[in-house]
Amino acid sequence: MPASRRGSGSFTLTTGQTIAIHTRTQDEEDLPHATKKTMADHLRKYESLFTLTPQRMRMIVEAFTETLELGLNKPNQIVPMIPTYVFGWPTGQEKGDFLALDLGGTNLRVCLVTLQGEGKFEISQTKYRLTEEQKQDDGQKLFDFCAECLNTFVETNTGEGAGQLKPGQSLPLGFTFSYPCSQERIDHGELIRWTKGFGAGNTEGRDVAEMFKKSLEKYQLPIKLTALINDTTGTLIASHYVNPKTKIAVIFGTGCNAAYMEHVKNITKIEHLGIDPGAEMAINCEWGAFDSFEHEHLPRTKYDTVVDDTSNKPGEQAFEKLISGRYLGEILRLVLCELIDEGVLFLGQNTYKLEKPYCFDTAFLSLMESDPTDELLMVIGIFTHFFALETTLAERQFFRALAKLIGRRAARLSACGIAAIVSKMNYLDEGCSVGADGSLYNKYPGFADRVHEGLQDIFGDKGRNIVTYHAEDGSGVGSAIIAAMTKHRKDAGLYLNV
Ligand code: GLC
């Protein structure tokens, strides 16, 4: 066997950057490195910190279920359980052209969706990258940028050349705004708080639908905002459109959240609206906020506390901070920094690159876990290419095991959230499908299996009845279907009665 081997590969980071790396294992060790035994000892310590027992999971599920109930019964709770004014499931026969605008955690996406009925659709779309500045600057400016992108998109895709719009005609738009907004009707939404690192000024507490309409007016666009929706609600509806067994939708991306369909009679906090108690309405849980501020139920490590304390919203989104793609890389980085400070890792090497907050992308955890080589060539590549650090095999195995602990904890905690909705709605015996989307779910190896394993740890064998699957595009197709459903309600004169 040769003393060194080469490896190469390429991948895309969440920042959109595509990286090609070429690596080769070290022939000789010329730097002081931690021994295999030291690394194994450390791993044991982290194992006990990051591992969730089935018993602990069941306790979390119990507290979670109570929190969901509380949010339905009382206004302004930490987990707000937001009524979305999306009534019931789509029929599958929704038809027509709709625009969808998606302001997510990383990108702005504009789509033109043609619903063809029978669960079929066509979609064309353009993505625009959001800068850090835009996320923190003035809110109205952010919506102006959304309108500007829409304008460009509409000109290119529905102009005379494309021949889609007749003079005087306007296109209905579903706006997917994936932040907690309390709604009084479907085309209204007061931003409760920014999440996922956004902090644009003059927006919290205001009706973002109104702000957005103001931006649309500036461009005199032939567009009518029909529905303001959350990505989870869109995912729920889009997934049900193609798979009617879907009862719950979860996003595992920059943020983490879920939506499901609730009986109006159970949403007691809106009893005064006089909506038919026999109707059904989608609820955007905003479960990322579970255990915020009080930190009573979730197993937080000191690394999680640092992530929280140094975030732009300390105390908030406690559940999300243990799960979502925005934070997992940072949690791992903080563990590595601790071992650097303790003099265990990278002795004699310059570690400044690794000391920069959020420099360790969550995509690195996925890559480390999926490295198929015995020498862990991908891990070598990540550390040399991005951080100019040499590693030994024992260290690389440790890094990979650490990624596994952090990724597995995120998946098992997610299972607790799903289990809480399943218990609350009594879905366990009949079973249900859970539409899931987001980079963590789609790209992190084994994430879905770990969620399923978690569900079985909570519910025993019956946990197998709850199955997650890769959802339909909620913010594009889902938003269009909801715009279609809303238009239908309006045409039927139902809108004013909410
Ligand atoms: C954050 C947002 C929530 C969204 C989720 C996934 O938790 O608050 O509205 O659904 O991220 O994008």
What does the block give as tokens for 38? 């030291």
Q: How far, in Å, is the centroid of ligand 1 from the Cα of 145?
A: 21
Contact 280, 264 (CB under 8 A): yes
Give the Å distance between the CA of 181 and the centre of ligand 1. 10
> What does the pLDDT read at residue 457?
98
Look at ligand 1, atom 2, and give the residue with the nearest C-alpha: 179
**How many whole angstroms from 381 Cα to the centroid of ligand 1?**
32
The two structure tokens encoding residue 471: 């959802």
Q: Are residues 89 and 492 in contact, defined by beta-carbon separation less than 8 angstroms?
A: no
Confidence (pLDDT) at 155: 86
Question: Which atom of ligand 1 approaches the CA of 251 most closely?
Answer: 6
Nearest C-alpha to atom 3 of ligand 1 is from which residue? 179
pLDDT tens, N- to C-terminus, the chain (498 residues) = 333 445 556 666 655 666 666 555 554 456 778 788 889 999 999 999 999 999 999 999 999 999 999 999 999 999 999 999 999 999 988 999 999 999 987 889 999 999 998 888 999 999 998 999 999 999 999 999 999 999 999 888 875 544 456 777 788 999 999 999 999 999 999 999 999 989 999 999 999 999 999 999 998 888 999 999 999 999 999 999 889 999 999 999 999 999 999 999 999 999 999 999 999 999 999 999 999 999 999 999 999 999 999 999 999 999 999 999 999 999 999 999 999 999 999 999 999 999 999 999 999 999 999 999 999 999 999 999 999 999 999 999 999 999 999 999 999 999 999 999 999 999 999 999 999 999 999 999 999 999 999 999 999 999 999 999 999 899 999 999 999 999 888 888 876 444
Distance (Å) of CA 150 to CA 101, 112, 221, 235, 315: 8, 10, 8, 22, 35
Gap between the Cα atoms of 142 and 134, Å rounded = 6
How far does the centroid of ligand 1 lie from the alpha carbon of residue 314, in Å?
A: 17
Ligand 1: centre distance to CA 255 (Å): 5
Residues labelled as active-site residues: 178, 193, 231
- Which is the closest atom of ligand 1 to the Cα of 231? 10
Output the CA 81–ligand 1 centroid distance in Å.
13
pLDDT of residue 170: 84
Testing ligand 1's pocket by substitution, the residue of 231, 283, 414 carrying the most ligand atoms inside 8 A of its CB is: 231
> Considering only CA atoms, which residue is closest to atom 8 of ligand 1?
179
Choose the residue to mutate in 193, 254, 256 for probing ligand 1, maximizing ligand atoms within 8 Å of C-beta. 256
* Residue in 421, 385, 399 with CA at minimum distance from that of residue 71: 421
Query: Minimal CA–CA distance to 108: which of 126, 95, 83, 88?
Result: 126
| Spatial distance between the Cα atoms of 311 and 286, rounded to a whole number of angstroms | 18
pLDDT at 123: 93
Q: Ligand 1: which residue has its CA nearest to atom 5?
A: 255
> What pLDDT was estimated at residue 1?
37
Q: Which amino acid is at 322?
A: L
Q: What is the DSSP string of 50-65?
A: H---HHHHHHHHHHHH
The confidence score (pLDDT) of residue 25 equals 52
Q: Please give the Cα distance from 104 to 231 (Å, whole number).
A: 8
What residues line ligand 1, using a CB cutoff of 6 Å?
Answer: 105, 178-180, 195-196, 230-232, 251, 253, 255-257, 286, 288, 320
Termini Cα distance of the chain: 72
pLDDT at 165: 64
Tokens 């500045």 correspond to 133
Pocket test for ligand 1, best of 196, 204, 229, 292 (most atoms within 8 A of CB): 196
Alpha helix positions (H), 108-251: 132-136, 139-158, 208-219, 231-242
